[in-house]
Structure 1
Amino acid sequence: MASQAPSRVGKTLIALIKIGLYLFVLALVALVVAVSVAVSQLPSYQELVRRDDLGQMIRVRAADGSVIHSMGPSFGEWLSHDEIPAIMRDAMIAVEDRRFHYHPGVDPIGIARGIWVGWTRDDRVRGVSTIAQQLARNIFLTNDRSMGRKIREGILALALERRFSKEQVLELYLNRVYFGGGAYGIDAASRRFFGHSATELNAGQAAIIAGLVKAPSNYSPTADAEAARARANIVLQLMVREGAISEAQARAANPQQVEFVRTAERHNSARYFTDWVLPQLETLIDETVQPIDVWTTLDVGLQRAADEALNANAPSAQAQGALVSLDRDGAVRALVGGRDYVDSIYNRATQATRQPGSAFKLFVYLAALETGYTPTSTVVDEPVTINGWSPRNDNGRYQGPVSLRAALALSINTVAVRIAQDVGTRTVADMAQRFGITTRVDTNPSMALGTSEVRLIDLTRAYASVAQRGVAVVPYGIRRVTTADGTLLYQHRSDESRVLVAPWVAAQMTDLLQAAVMTGTGRAAQLGRPTAGKTGTTSSNKDGWFVGFSSGLTTGVWYGRDDNRALPGLAGGRAPARAFHQYMARAVANRPVENFEIEVALPDWQVEPDAESWYGAPDDYQLVDPDGNPIQPVEDGPPPPPQPREPGSATTEELNQEWLDHAIGRNRAPQAVPQERRGPPPDRGPPPRRQQQEVMPPLPGQRQSAPPVVRPTETPPPTIRPRAPGTAE
């Protein structure tokens, strides 16, 4: 009986061994099948080289092509196995997978060692991932620590090494692994940290890069340079142990002597510009995967000059500022949204809405010129009261009869209010919106003095449109967008077809603005060449503005406080005008001097009385009668004598305006044409109704004894309930 017991034990052991063998064979077959399936589903080598799965890289380039900002992953050049320095390959293998050339993708010895270390120290398996496993995890999996993920990682690693050679696996790994600082691949890391290609890496630099893989956020030179050097020393010791380098070579490498590239200053004001243009990509292109280059209009030199001018002329340490500079086609050459991007990323050039003060008078005078005023038209500067509101001039004095040119140059508030009442505050508001003001414009009497808040970029755009002889200017910052290989995705095209006002209106407005710089409140902005512009100062010196143009460049400057508190001494003719002068003196230095067209031929109002003659009306149209029958034009010469009309025959009439109105079905009496829409005839001064001196009816709340004002008007201004006064200039 005793001899039978061992027999049963032996049989049991044999059975267990057989079961184990069967399970092993079954697991091996399952593994082979799983690896085979994984191999068949792996992307091709060319697809893995693209690196699209790492996210979209966007590089923003200035007008000269230099990169001013990058976002998303940063990729360098793809280096083949032979192009990668041997010292870099040896360093990575020594620190991450010393048996790389001997295992099939998974290192059984490494796994056993990891299990033993984990069991004897902290019950945690670690340090068992080969280069192929890390590559599989980076490309196909996540970083969770589940057993299922580890099994899938091992299968994919075996598949990768079955599908690709050892050299290809190492090449993929070194070109795709993340090294911190946004850099993917050794070439991006080398350029990011050392400023040169990875093909030029020495032993010390290679050791630093190889040491980053373990913990990029901790060892990255951008995070902790000393930690990166300490980690590199460990890598060099491992390389010596594996025989990759000698002790002497390790000492010569000395990571302490490796110098890192200094990163660009965080307060680079160009970030205000990139923050403005990058959101526009969503409406311009559909590409969201491939790396793209955004080629912009920003001039790096002008951006630097704008930043310096804005900070050099700030009225106080508490003041904030903004500057926008537009070229004649709307290209943004410089954009500064604040004095320091690190302190505040709030973009005061494109986001902030502030009261523009007298800089808003641009729209008051544009409306006046379009309704028939001229730069020499006379308006009386005298006290005025509207529903209990009495605007005052900055100097507290009144000039009496003054021309429009002098009134704008001296920024006389009472004249601007009177003109706005004459042409209508709704007309002024419409003019502002026509010229690109996107914020709400009130129509109360004080609106003439700039109480409605605007954005700096919108106001600068309006002045640029005046400089362009009344053609709409739309600011833009993106010239084109391409993929990394140069495929064009978007190309900007300027539209110069939208005319906002007639050329003679824009020319007369330029005349007024030039006077403001030559003899008025904007004298500090003079550049020694034709310059036009306007100052603006709000009540209690809370905002200071200057917007002007010269030699095809239009620039707007604003100063104020974010909390809207007063800045003693702030005025549009001081800090803003000085900043404009400092910036523009450099910006136009290499541009030719351009004289303004302030005398543009006016239309012949007797021949072409309609405004559409200045808005693209064709001159080769076919006249038709009310029945649609064509009317043949009459040759030049004296009109034929009247002919008697025979019964049933067509009427022969003189070809005059009355006949034309009847022929096209526009039967209107001459007096039905709004007189205020007619401009002055060429070289004959103001139109007839402007020739006489009229006594302006007293405005609501004004004393009857007010002196007369010489102004073009037909009806007294409407009574409008005002808002509290908003400006000082």
Structure 2
Amino acid sequence: MSNSGRKKNRLVAEKRYSASKPKKKPAKAKPARRKATARKAPARKGLLSLPMRLVRWVLRLIWNITWRIGAVVALIVGVAVVYTYTTLPPVGDLLDGRSRGSVTLLDRNGDVYAWRGDQFGGVVTADTVSPALKNAVVATEDKRFYYHPGVDPIGIASAVRINLREGRGPLQGHGGSTITQQTAKLLCLGVEYDKAKWETEAEYVADCRRTSLSRKVKEAVFALAMEAKYSKDEILSVYLNRAYLGGGAYGAEAAAQRYFGKGASKLNVAEGAMLAGLLTAPSTLAPTANLARSQNRASVVVRLMQDQGYISSTDAAAALAQPAELSEAAEKQAGGYFADWVMASGPEFFTRDTTEDVIIKTTLDQRMQKAAEDALQYVFENKVREGSKAQAAIVVMSADGAVRAMVGGRKIKVRGAFNRATQAKRQTGSAFKPFVYATALELGYSHDSTVVDEPFCLDVPGSGQWCPENYTRKHYGRVTLTQALKDSLNIPAVKVSESVGRDLVRKVASDFGIESDLAAGPALALGASESTLIEMTGAYAGILNGGSSVTPYGLKELRLLGENTPLMGTGGGIGERVIQEPAARELTYMMHQVVHGGTGSRAKLPDREAAGKTGTTQAARDAWFLGFTADYVAGVWMGYDDNTPLSGVTGGGLPAEIWHETMVRVHDGLEPRQLPMLRPAPKSTQRSDQPGTVPRQPRDQGNPIENILRGILGIGN
């Protein structure tokens, strides 16, 4: 069938969209209006198009320049970082950066009491230190440490804003440095110390610490290289080992040992916060310099740790309630003068200029050291007029010369100060007289030998006539040697010295350890020569030990850190015999009378025997008291550094009282022992063969010159 004649059906209904057609008519009008508007716009667009095109062109130019410069800078920085990366050594080589060694001083019991040099307690890592210390350092120094690539733009922007707000330059004050950048600075950006470039290490360090824009750029490059080379904990480990924490301590371990007497792995929150707080200003905030200031800084660190979630509020409250305290050794800062003396007397290559970490065991007794310091302070606070500039020094030692305590001046906690116990040479006055009588006793005189105290003059070649006088300006006739020493009479001492011979007196004094130049004239007997307190105390120790010389010493043993075998041992002790023991015992008896009822009676101890001798020089420029018990010898000197005369002070006054206060404290808790001295029997029953008497050696009666001299001087047995 054909459909050609039919009308074909529409596939789509004609009126399917018919309803929408009327709605399209209004839409056709809108384009016309838009075209009309568009025809009006060119006038306004023409006014704005040129500036807009200019702005867009400038922005495109800036962008093109910026990204190209940025790309060049990034390329340069990248090359610099890669190069620096290749120069970085293994992390283990960076942990200890000191160029010199350190000295740790131990007391007689093996406890640490002082340090010298740059102290390094040993290598620690971020994993081995106390978590409290690690977290405190991060919270204080760089809270985004684990999230930045070595440089913290946020921190830098914040620092610049603070500096500008406070009226400083953008790089002055707060630096915004990360821990990595601070470590880079501690490493001096890899630059080694060169003596040809820097005269001293101090100049080298100062150059490493300077701040400038170019230096900051180099620091940033070095920090980025470190971040690429090492892990975060390795960088933190270097920082914890190299950072200076005050008091000569480099690194966390040295600081923990110095301030708290424990390892860095055992620090609690309060102690870790205190060490972290020192990083800002280690010398100023060191707890040994100002504990309260250090504790205040630590409290700020504790709050930072709490705010950053490292510790709970309970832990923070506990740390704030119980702030860190110094260890006993750090608090005492004991033996500053003593430590300086040991360092000066030891071998230079193991003390002052050591390149090793050295441990020195010394003779110091910290209990006795405190006793001497307390005694000196007590007397000056209670018995010396306020404002006095007078100085004093004390030495306490054993009979073999082992120094147990040393105070070199009124300022107790010092380092590198002038030590009046070892460095000040002063006239000894009557404190020298025991060596005159020691010579006489050794030659056969007795404690009850007599000498006439009367006006006496000598012709001194080149000086004319010299007439000594007693301190009281009186004369007492015939007196025993014991009474002459007991009352410190000058004329009998000179007569005895002239009788036995000045050369022998000088030899005995020198053999006992007085190494200073001794006077050649007759004034030798009256202490016209100069000596140091430690020399004089050592010489008196020779009398106590029975007549043998001693060399005062403080060093007992020296070894390297980590080694058990000592490199050297005791540097002093008992030496050659100077006088026989009977003579020493008899001299001790005579010196006991000085304390028992003579010029040194203020030194008398309440519970034990003591022997000693006072000494006052011309115009009272120096006042001495030296003496001993059966256990210890002590010497005290008092005077002015500029030789100003003391006002109303003699050796039997304040020096004897200082000696008394010192020895009372030194012997606290010790059982009393008798002095090793002659104990004469009553004269009515005394016989030469009785126990306790000194057998007299027969003297050569055939020397007429000596007999005549003894007769002229009025000396007899």
SS at match of 1:485: coil
Q: How does 1:294-305 map to 2 (within 5 A)?
A: 294-305=360-371
Q: 2:186 aligns with which of 138, 142, 156?
A: 138
Matched residues in 1 for 2:629 and 2:102: separation? 38
> In structure 2, what is the equivalent of residue 316 of structure 1?
384
Q: 2:80 aligns with which of 21, 26, 31?
A: 31
CA apart distance, 1:326: 1.8
Matched residues in 2 for 1:356 and 1:105: separation? 66
CA apart distance, 1:501: 3.6
Matched residues in 2 for 1:466 and 1:290: separation? 40
> In structure 1, what is the equivalent of residue 127 of structure 2?
82
> In structure 2, what is the equivalent of residue 500 of structure 1?
578
C-alpha change, 1:161 and 1:504, in structure 2 (3 Å) is same
Q: How does 1:184-263 map to 2 (within 5 A)?
A: 184-186=250-252, 199=265, 210=276, 212-216=278-282, 229=296, 233=300, 236=303, 240=307, 244=309, 249=313, 253=317, 257=321, 259-261=323-325
Q: How does 1:458-477 map to 2 (within 5 A)?
A: 458-477=535-554
C-alpha change, 1:235 and 1:62, in structure 2 (3 Å) is closer
Query: 1:274 corresponds to which letter in structure 2?
Result: A
SS at match of 1:325: strand
SS at match of 2:433: helix
Matched residues in 2 for 1:63 and 1:543: separation? 32
The answer to whether the 8 A contact 2:396-2:406 is kept is yes
- Residue by residue over 1:660-704, the C-alpha shift from the partner in whole angstroms, topping out at 9 and shown as x without a partner, is xxxxxxxxxxxxxxxxxxxxx9656543248999665998xxxxx
CA apart distance, 1:459: 1.4
Matched residues in 2 for 1:551 and 1:311: separation? 25
Q: How does 1:523-602 map to 2 (within 5 A)?
A: 523-527=601-605, 529=608, 531-567=610-646, 569-588=648-667, 590=670, 593-596=673-676, 598=678
Q: How does 1:45-60 map to 2 (within 5 A)?
A: 45-49=91-95, 51-53=96-98, 55-60=100-105
The answer to whether the 8 A contact 2:82-2:225 is kept is no
Query: 1:153 corresponds to which letter in structure 2?
Result: E
Q: 1:404 aligns with which of 481, 487, 511?
A: 481
CA apart distance, 1:45: 3.4
> In structure 1, what is the equivalent of residue 343 of structure 2?
278
Query: 1:295 corresponds to which letter in structure 2?
Result: K
Q: How does 1:415-434 map to 2 (within 5 A)?
A: 415-434=492-511
CA apart distance, 1:360: 1.2
Matched residues in 1 for 2:647 and 2:61: separation? 99
C-alpha change, 1:597 and 1:365, in structure 2 (3 Å) is same
The answer to whether the 8 A contact 1:521-1:535 is kept is yes
Asked if residue 479 in structure 1 is aligned to residue 556 in structure 2, the reply is yes
> In structure 1, what is the equivalent of residue 20 of structure 2?
none
> In structure 1, what is the equivalent of residue 568 of structure 2?
490
> In structure 2, what is the equivalent of residue 613 of structure 1?
none
Asked if residue 709 in structure 1 is aligned to residue 709 in structure 2, the reply is no
> In structure 2, what is the equivalent of residue 443 of structure 1?
520
Matched residues in 2 for 1:272 and 1:383: separation? 45
The answer to whether the 8 A contact 2:180-2:227 is kept is yes
CA apart distance, 1:25: 8.1
CA apart distance, 1:512: 3.6
Matched residues in 2 for 1:684 and 1:94: separation? 82
Matched residues in 2 for 1:294 and 1:492: separation? 11
- Residue by residue over 1:393-413, the C-alpha shift from the partner in whole angstroms, topping out at 9 and shown as x without a partner, is 344444433443343333332
What TM-score do you get using the length of structure 1 for normalisation? Answer: 0.70
CA apart distance, 1:226: 6.5
Query: 2:617 corresponds to which letter in structure 1?
Result: T
Q: How does 1:68-147 map to 2 (within 5 A)?
A: 68-73=113-118, 75=120, 78-86=123-131, 88-107=133-152, 124=170, 127-141=175-189, 142-147=208-213
Moved more, 322-331 or 375-384: 375-384
C-alpha change, 1:554 and 1:402, in structure 2 (3 Å) is same
SS at match of 2:467: coil
Asked if residue 509 in structure 1 is aligned to residue 509 in structure 2, the reply is no
CA apart distance, 1:331: 0.5
> In structure 1, what is the equivalent of residue 398 of structure 2?
327
Matched residues in 2 for 1:409 and 1:553: separation? 21
Matched residues in 2 for 1:291 and 1:523: separation? 48
- Residue by residue over 1:103-162, the C-alpha shift from the partner in whole angstroms, topping out at 9 and shown as x without a partner, is 443456766887899899976356453322221211234112244533443343334333
The answer to whether the 8 A contact 1:208-1:255 is kept is no
The answer to whether the 8 A contact 2:99-2:355 is kept is no
SS at match of 2:373: helix
SS at match of 1:534: strand
Asked if residue 373 in structure 1 is aligned to residue 445 in structure 2, the reply is yes
Q: 1:64 aligns with which of 109, 115, 129?
A: 109
Matched residues in 2 for 1:343 and 1:80: separation? 33
Matched residues in 2 for 1:186 and 1:267: separation? 21
Query: 1:298 corresponds to which letter in structure 2?
Result: L
> In structure 1, what is the equivalent of residue 456 of structure 2?
384
The answer to whether the 8 A contact 2:350-2:356 is kept is no
Query: 2:614 corresponds to which letter in structure 1?
Result: T
Matched residues in 1 for 2:270 and 2:365: separation? 38
Matched residues in 1 for 2:281 and 2:610: separation? 58
CA apart distance, 1:498: 2.6
- Residue by residue over 1:3-57, the C-alpha shift from the partner in whole angstroms, topping out at 9 and shown as x without a partner, is xxx9xx9x99999899769846863663364034223xx1x333333x2427544
> In structure 2, what is the equivalent of residue 688 of structure 1?
701
Q: 1:150 aligns with which of 204, 209, 216?
A: 216
C-alpha change, 1:253 and 1:481, in structure 2 (3 Å) is same
SS at match of 1:472: strand
SS at match of 1:688: coil
Asked if residue 336 in structure 1 is aligned to residue 413 in structure 2, the reply is no
Count of aligned positions:
611
Matched residues in 2 for 1:481 and 1:465: separation? 26
Matched residues in 2 for 1:372 and 1:334: separation? 36
C-alpha change, 1:168 and 1:530, in structure 2 (3 Å) is same
Matched residues in 1 for 2:697 and 2:270: separation? 84
C-alpha change, 1:164 and 1:530, in structure 2 (3 Å) is same
C-alpha change, 1:19 and 1:159, in structure 2 (3 Å) is closer
Matched residues in 2 for 1:197 and 1:17: separation? 53
SS at match of 1:498: strand
C-alpha change, 1:689 and 1:218, in structure 2 (3 Å) is closer
CA apart distance, 1:92: 3.9
SS at match of 2:551: coil
> In structure 1, what is the equivalent of residue 422 of structure 2?
350
C-alpha change, 1:15 and 1:440, in structure 2 (3 Å) is same
